[in-house]
Amino acid sequence: MLKAFVNEATARVEITTIGPLLIKSGYATVIGADMAPVLTYRNKHDEVYLPGSSLKGVFRSHIEKVANSLKPRVACNPLLTREDREGKDERNLYRVSCGRELEDTTGAAALYKASCPVCRAFGSTSYIGRLSVGDAYLDAEDYEEQKLEDYKEQKLIEHRDGIAIDRLTGGVSGNAKFDLETVTEGTTFTTTLRLRNFEIWQLGMLFVIVKDLEDELITLGSGRSRGLGMVRGGIRMKKDGVYPGGLALSTPRAIRDSKEKAGELWGLGRWLKEEKEAEAYGCDPDDMLTLSSKVAHVRDGVRNTRVFTSSALDDLKDRSIEAFVERMQQWELARIAPAGEGSR
C-alpha cells in the first residue's frame, strides 16, 4: 500500500541566514579560500545553495533529539549496533539502528510497523523514507541572475580569516592560519518539503521542525560551535510558481472522492482502514483530526487538494504537534539488549 499514493503534504519553506553560514564544498582548492561554500550550476551560472541532503540530515538529527527527549529510546541511532552500544551510548538514550535490526525482516508492512518513528518518516537502510527535502536555492524574487564574481558586490559571500589555537599557550599555533568564504546574513533560500502517506503525528513532526526553524533552534553547516550557521525559517505564505502559499494537502480524487469531510483531516491509518490494512502497518485506524475551520477540497487533476493558510494553518499546526507529542509518549519501546548480546 505504501507504494500507492494515499495522502501528501507539500510546503515551500524559506530559510534566511541571520549570521554567516558555510556548507563546505568538499573540494580542495589551489587558489582561493581554504573552505568555500558548495555551489551548483543554475540559471546559466554558478550559484550558492543549501543541499537537500544536508538539510534532511540536520532535520533528522534534530527530531531524533526531540523524540528521545519526550521518551528515551523512542528513536534509533542509525549508526548504533548492539555490539557497540556500551561504547557509544552508555546512557541507553537511543534504540539500536532500525536498518541493522530489520536486515532480515521482509514485507513493507512488517518493516514499517517495526521501524522507529523517525525511520518511518525519514527512512533507513531497510525502509525508504517518505519525507523528501529539496535543494534550497536563492530566492528568485530577491536575487537577480548574477555571475559568481558579482556575488561579492551583492555581499552574498564574504571572506573570513581563521587561526588554529595552541592548546597549551592559548595563542596562535605557529602559522596555522586559514581562510573561508561564508554566505552572509540576510540571504534567503527556498526549499520544498514533501511528506507522502503521512500519519497525523508525522505531520506534527514536520510542524515541529518548521516551528523550531521559526524559533532559531536549528543551525546549519560548519562552524556552528563558533557562531556560524544561525538561520530562521518558516512556511512560505505567498504563491511560488506552481506552489500555493501555506501548506497543501492532497489525496487521489479518483478513489477517495468526497470521503474526507471539509472539517476533518485523515491520516494514513484512517485511509488504510478503508483498505483493511491499518493494523498490518501498525497505524491507528482512527487516525484523524477534527478541524476548527473547514477547508474545502479543490479538484486539481487527479487529486483533491486543500490549502491551509492563516488561522486554519495555525490550528492544524497546534493540533498536529499535540498528536506528535502524545504519540511519542505512548510509543511502545523496543527491547534493549544487554551490552555484548549479538544482533539478530
Grid coordinates standing for 238? 505567498
How far is Cα 1 from Cα 153, in angstroms, rounded to an integer? 52
Query: What average pLDDT does this structure show over 239-259?
Result: 83
The mean-pLDDT minimum among 81-85, 93-97, 202-206, 325-329 falls in 81-85
Q: Is the pLDDT of residue 65 over 50?
A: yes
Give the model's pLDDT for residue 339. Answer: 36
pLDDT 10s digits, 254-276: 655 568 888 999 999 998 887 78
Q: Per-residue confidence at 174, pLDDT binned at 50, 70, 90?
A: low
- Which of residues 255 and 289 earns the better pLDDT score? 289
Are the C-beta atoms of 101 and 110 separated by less than 8 Å? no
Grid coordinates standing for 42? 543554475
Q: Is 76 part of any domain? A: yes
Query: What average pLDDT does this structure show over 61-76?
Result: 94
pLDDT 10s digits, 188-228: 999 999 999 999 999 999 999 999 999 999 999 888 887 88
Q: State how far the alpha carbon of 308 is from the alpha carbons of 8, 201, 280, in Å.
A: 13, 17, 31
- Count the neighbouring beta carbons within 10 Å of the beta carbon of residue 270: 24
Query: What average pLDDT does this structure show over 237-248?
Result: 93
Element (H, E) at 289: strand 288-290
How far is Cα 61 from Cα 224, in angstroms, rounded to an integer? 15
Question: Mean pLDDT across the chain, nearest whole number?
Answer: 83
Give the model's pLDDT for residue 66. Answer: 97
How far is Cα 231 from Cα 131, in angstroms, rounded to an integer? 21
How far is Cα 30 from Cα 13, in angstroms, rounded to an integer? 36
Q: Is the pLDDT of residue 319 over 70?
A: yes
- Which of residues 59 and 103 earns the better pLDDT score? 59
Give the model's pLDDT for residue 272. Answer: 87
How far is Cα 191 from Cα 200, in angstroms, rounded to an integer? 22
Range of the domain at 28: 8-240
- Which of residues 83 and 213 earns the better pLDDT score? 213
Q: Is 263 part of any domain? A: no
Q: Is the pLDDT of residue 129 over 50?
A: yes
Q: Is 313 part of any domain? A: no
Query: What average pLDDT does this structure show over 146-175?
Result: 62
Are the C-beta atoms of 343 and 81 separated by less than 8 Å? yes
How far is Cα 323 from Cα 321, in angstroms, rounded to an integer? 5
How far is Cα 228 from Cα 53, in angstroms, rounded to an integer? 19
End-to-end CA distance of the chain: 27
Q: Is 142 part of any domain? A: yes
Are the C-beta atoms of 62 and 209 separated by less than 8 Å? yes
Query: What average pLDDT does this structure show over 101-128?
Result: 90
Element (H, E) at 49: strand 45-50
How far is Cα 157 from Cα 151, in angstroms, rounded to an integer? 6
Grid coordinates standing for 25? 564544498
Q: Is the pLDDT of residue 148 over 60?
A: no
Q: Is the pLDDT of residue 33 over 70?
A: no
Query: What average pLDDT does this structure show over 8-13?
Result: 97
Q: Is the pLDDT of residue 253 over 70?
A: yes
Q: Is 318 part of any domain? A: no
Grid coordinates standing for 168? 597549551
Q: Which residues of 66-99 are buried (b: 16+ CB within 10 A; e: fewer)?
A: bbbebbebbbbbbebebbebeeebeeebbbbbbb
Give the model's pLDDT for residue 310. Answer: 94
Are the C-beta atoms of 167 and 213 separated by less than 8 Å? no
DSSP for 187-220, written as a single string: -EEEEEEEEES--HHHHHHHHHHHHHHHTT--B-
Beta bridge partners of 172: 165
Give the model's pLDDT for residue 161. Answer: 64
Q: Is 140 part of any domain? A: yes
Helix, strand or coil, per DSSP, at residue 305: strand
Q: Is 137 part of any domain? A: yes
Quick one: how far is CA 252 from the chain centroid? 24
Give the model's pLDDT for residue 207. Answer: 98
Q: Is the pLDDT of residue 172 over 60?
A: yes
Grid coordinates standing for 85? 552500544
Give the model's pLDDT for residue 15. Answer: 96
Helix, strand or coil, per DSSP, at residue 344: coil
State the DSSP code for 317.
H
The pTM (predicted TM-score) of the whole model is: 0.86
Grid coordinates standing for 76? 534509533
Q: Is 271 part of any domain? A: no
Query: Which range in 11-15, 97-101, 127-131 is most confidently predicted, on average pLDDT?
Result: 11-15
Q: How many domains does the chain have?
A: 1
Are the C-beta atoms of 316 and 291 separated by less than 8 Å? yes
How far is Cα 222 from Cα 182, in angstroms, rounded to an integer? 10
